[in-house]
Amino acid sequence: MGSWSQPTADDLALLGSLAGHPGNLMYFFDRLDNPLWVGALREKGFFETLPEPVEESGGSIRYPPWPEGRYLARMASTASEQVCSVLKDVGLSQSPLVTRLCFEAAAGLPDEQLQHLAHKVREWVKAPGANRFSEEAATVLSRLLQMGKVAAADKAAGVLLSVKERPPSGDQTFMSSRPEAIGRFSVWRYRRVVEGVLPALADHAGLKGVKLLSRLLGKAIQIERMEGEDPDCDGHAFVWRPAIEEHSQNNDHGVKDVLVSAVRDASVAFAQKGESELRETISYLESRSVLYRRVALHVLSVVPYGSSLAAERISNRDLFDDGRVRHEYASLVRARFGEMPVEVQESFLGWIDEGPDLEPFRQRVASMQSSSKGQHEDAYVGVWQLDRLSFVESYLVGVTAERYQNLVAKFGEPEHADLPFWSQVRQGTLSPLSQDEMSRMTPLNVVEYLRTWCPPSSQSWKSENSKRGLGLVFRTVAKQRIGEFVPLSNQIASLGPIYVGNFLGALRAASEEGVSIAWTEPVQLMTLVVEHPFLVNDETQDIDRETDWTWARRDVAWLLSSGLSSGPNRIPFALRKDIWQLLERLTRDPDPSVAQEAKRGDDLDPHSLSHNSNRGTAMNAVVEYALWCRRELEAQGEDVTLGLDLMPEVRSVLERHLDPSTEPSHAVRAVYGQWLPWLLLLDEHWTVSNVPRIFSAPPSSVDLAETAWTTYIGSCQPYDSAFRSLRSQYEAAIDRIPSSSTFGMSPGKSVDVSLGEHLAALYWRGVISAPLLDRFFRRADDNLASTVMEYIGRALMNSDGDLPPSFARRIRELWNRRLETILSNPKAHVQEGKMFSFTFAAAKLDEDWELSSLERTVQGGFGNRWIAHSAVERLVRIATARPVTVTRLALQLLKTSENEWAHLDWEDDIRSILDSTQGSSQAEAVENRREIVDYYIRRGIFAFRNLL
């Protein structure tokens, strides 16, 4: 074919006859290398029909090949003008294979032709299946940036790198869960795309590139931010990203971690262009939240000019004291302290001389029963000063240098002085044996070594080699070779609680990973553990495990919970009697005592404490045991509807620990709340009859009842059967609104919010009727109501496929009622009115109704930039089909925004709306477009002129 010249009419006719034979057509195009055919084929319409995805039986999707596209990609460099013309006119396909070939063809074009395809690149990037063409898209975007097509490439990059919330998996599709930000493709590919685009973005987009990446990062953090978190802390980024630069302490947190590095690199690249660019970069970053302010400090530490900017920040006492920015502040000081004016240096050293604020430290040690509190305080001050002097160690001279060396001699070299949080694998330093060394020993030799090794009689305050460190190494090695160590269980039992507890932990880890375990000997070992006498010592420190078997007994309970699972490696049912004897003994463990629970309650809520105390963990395992019995008995043909009659031992323990005079522990009462739906499964009659004892109580034990309810509503899904049994408790909880109860670790989630989410889910499923939910909203304030309505919207956004019609109808009816209330008194429902944005963005109900309702909220004064972000994204998608409504809504959002800079955040989306509606001849759409353009031009955005 390489010798062919311009195709003749007969050639094209012959090719047309092959159209009904896909295999022949594919054979032809895959071997065609004559560039002169491109124009002729285009005239005959060969590139107009694109292959679309085909749904196969069983629900799978097949993507047919596009051989014409492969031919175009090969001809891009030799027939560039003709290929460019084809690509200009090629339609959009739902097949990622077609889009990928479009990108490949575009990438092969010379710059002169590629620049004419900028608008098509934006369209292609939005196509589904971005993971199939992400790197090809990155290549094209980089070239557009290099050619100066910054606006088009920046917009396309924003789409390609967009982030969204990961929908929940499994049966919880319609329920919200802990949010996670994800990209349009895997984190690995996302990182490769960012790395591909970043050099060109940094070199040619300048500050606009920094802003684009910052917006993406901000959205990722917003998605993952939990209720009640301070927006300025960026999801505690100083914990998961302790260093802005690449650092061994940084934890890989997916897309947002990639974006932190991208913002950093783009900022440095732009700032290095000159003094004015540096000032622009710092000004922009410091106008945002703390994570970006840390990036600003990093930029100043690596860019070689801007000395005055560095001096202003080094002499800022707030930065000196802010632990969240300590690492980047320290890096700036280390890099530039020598060039600082004398007064800045003296100010910094003077703060160190003053020492830390001791009040927080004194509060932490106030409860210590020790006569050496003063020594603790002196050591705290010394280490604090040592750490901060280490920032400027290389600049110290004279008396200050001598002072620093004296502190080093006293406290040792500073470790991670500039990191407020760090993790460290200490096995190499805290254990006399490394993991590799122990792995080479026989199990018998390991056990003997554990039996005979003793730590040095005198150790430094850093505590290098210890039984705890050796026990952690033993845990790892035993898990890897669990089958070899199980036969030695009886010998391990004599080693002491540290090593026994770690062996039980190794058994648990192996069990949870599906490793088959011979359970007889481990059960014997656990029996020996629980036979050790209980020690009741509320002053015992958690780290003191050399003689106290408290922690080892907790390891027994944890192991039993794991072994009583439904997995193939579960404990054999033949050991039922032995297992129960263990559990029954553990349910009498004195941990937690009333004093312990009161003390530990400052750190752990009752639900968390139930999994971190011996008796609480044992009671959790009792329910696991009951479920284990039910499964095994059902497999043997027993009538499991007899419930606890088949396991009276469980009933006896459950009833005993429901008596407040016998069981005052909130951790134990939390177990009943957490497992309530499963107790109903085990024995509905027993559970329903005991609901008053679990959730209602005389005045002397009302707190226990509240603990049970708080744990239930906070940890359980809204099961229909549970609601039917607890309707009166739900109604009583509504009457208690507003309550101050929370669930989970501090600050915890509001119980009122959890109650609202339960009621909303029960309502949309048709379990409860409108009056009960409306009763909740009459009690709720604006913040509570808005949180619940946001939950409904997010649940819709996270649901796959179409909703059942009855679900959709009830949610529409609820919103109709809420909007009537909201719009009748907008000032009392400022937050709730904004929440329709989520429901609108989900696009799950009825488009006409959604648009009408959105317009009602916008006209009601709720069109600020927060609601508009979600709303405009949806409007962009439907603009072509509904030009009048969408342009009218976009204009209303602009006019009713609560600030004068909201239009900047919406600029890209508004441009998309104007692009999509450009072909509309409807008078209202034309006028709306004119007003939108005028709105931007009046605010200095003159580039909008070409959109008229």
Please write the tens of the pLDDT for every residue from 889-938.
Answer: 989 888 877 655 666 777 888 889 999 998 888 999 999 999 998 888 77
Rounded Cα–Cα distance for residues 95 and 100 (Å): 9
Count of C-beta atoms within a 10 Å radius of residue 381: 14
In the chain, what is the straight-line distance between the N-terminal and C-terminal CA atoms, in Å?
48
Which region, left, alpha or beta, applies to residue 940 given φ > 0 means left and ψ of -120 to 50 means alpha? Answer: left
Residues 6+ apart with CB under 8 A from 947: 911, 914, 915, 918, 929, 933
pLDDT of residue 598: 81
Q: Do the strands 181-182 and 164-165 form a parallel or antiparallel pair, or are they unpaired?
A: antiparallel
Which contiguous run of DSSP H or E holds residue 679? helix 676-682
> Exposed e or buried b for every residue in 218-241, given b needs 16+ CB within 10 A?
bbbbbbbbeeeeeeebbbbbbebb
State which of 237-241, 334-338, 888-892 shows the largest mean pLDDT. 334-338
Whether pTM exceeds 0.95: no
- d(CA 929, CA 93) in angstroms, rounded, equals 28
pLDDT digits (tens, 9 = 90+) for 587-603: 999 988 888 888 776 67
Residue type, 815: W
Residue 828, pLDDT above cutoff 80: yes
Token pair, residue 393, equals 């160690």
Q: Quote the mean pLDDT of the chain.
A: 86
DSSP annotation string for 849-878: HHHHHHHHHIIIII--HHHHHHHHHHHHHH
Is 660 in a helix, a strand, or coil?
coil
Task: Quote the Cα angle for 66-40-112, to 5°.
Answer: 80
User: What residues contact residue 892 under an 8 Å CB cut-off, 6+ apart?
Assistant: 855, 858, 859, 863
Task: Check residue 707 and give its pLDDT.
Answer: 92
Q: Exposed e or buried b for every residue in 405-432, given b needs 16+ CB within 10 A?
A: eebeeebeebeebbbeeeeeeebeebbb
Name the nearest CA neighbour of 619 among 567, 572, 673.
673
pLDDT of residue 746: 65
Q: Which residue has the tokens 């975007």?
A: 141
Residue range 808-822: average pLDDT?
A: 95
Distance CA 875, CA 854 (A): 11
Q: What tokens does 661 get?
A: 């005079």
* Amino acid at residue number 678: W
Q: How far is residue 18's CA from residue 21's CA, in Å, rounded to a whole number?
A: 5
Q: Which amino acid belongs to residue 280?
A: E
Which pLDDT belongs to residue 230? 74
Residue 539 has pLDDT above 50, yes or no: no
Q: Name the residue among 464, 530, 465 with its Cα closest to residue 493.
A: 530
- Percent of the chain clearing pLDDT 90 (strictly above): 52
